[in-house]
Amino acid sequence: MPGHRFEAKHHKRLESAYRRRILPPTSTLKRFGLKKGMNVADIGAGSGYFLIPAARIAGPGTSAFGVDASDEILRIIDKKRHPSNVKLVHSRDGYSFKIESGTVDYVIASAVLHENHPVRLLREIRRIMKRGATLLIIDWRKDSLRAGPPAEERLSADEVRGICRQSKLKVTKSENLNPRYYAVVARKA
Ligand SMILES: C[S@@+](CC[C@H](N)C(=O)[O-])C[C@H]1O[C@@H](n2cnc3c(N)ncnc32)[C@H](O)[C@@H]1O
């Protein structure tokens, strides 16, 4: 059973000073291979926490797609100062994105997989990825419950690695980032 979807009214929680300290967006993206010149998509972009730094790293001439199922949250991003390569994409059902197949070099899925049917979501993510593209999944650890969704809604890193393999994505890295989140990196062969 997928977990419940995040409500836009809580968007400020995504921008807390503590989160910025334990999960600094720019250095996290660079550390996991996001580079200048890449087309990037942030699935479940929320407040733009990763999307806006990702768009800056990717730079001019690229597309930085901010995909979200919530119209309300996309309006919040749109009101922020953001680079001109940001393209906001509303996905009503959350499982189909208006992005051409095989065009994205780097996909971010942070704190979103557990809110969905993960295999359905990865199928659509894989569709938009180029061959050799990278997928960075960040999600809530199951072994530390001080904040975030209830344990039964979370996916462990082990479960996510299995779902990636089932979705024909090759896992290249998996590690705990901090007391709250882990990262799993996968590649489309
Ligand atoms: C917990 S927030 C995380 C936001 C951001 N990724 C971050 O880490 O700061 C989850 C966001 O994903 C969106 N979302 C959940 N499932 C989605 C889906 N299948 N497709 C697009 N957006 C989705 C929600 O509307 C919400 O804005």
CB environment 13-51: b (16+ within 10 A), e (fewer): ebeeeebeeebebeebbeebebeeebbbbbbbbbbbbbb
The DSSP bridge pattern shows strands 104-110 and 129-140 to be: parallel
93: its two tokens:
């059902």
Beta carbon of 73 within 6 Å of any ligand 1 atom: yes
pLDDT on residue 72? 95
- Which of 9, 78, 115, 154 most suits a substitution to test ligand 1, by most atoms within 8 Å of the C-beta? 115
Question: Does the Cβ of 120 fall within 6 Å of ligand 1?
Answer: no
pLDDT at 36 over 70: yes
pLDDT in tens, 92-144: 999 999 999 999 999 999 999 999 999 999 999 999 999 999 999 999 999 88
pLDDT at 15: 87
Confidence of residue 57 (pLDDT cuts 50, 70, 90): very high
Pick the CATH number of 8-187 from 3.40.470.10, 3.40.50.150, 3.40.50.80, 3.40.50.1260: 3.40.50.150
Strands (E), 10-128: 40-43, 64-68, 86-90, 104-110
Q: DSSP letter at 40?
A: E
Q: Give me ligand 1 centre to Cα 2, in Å.
A: 13
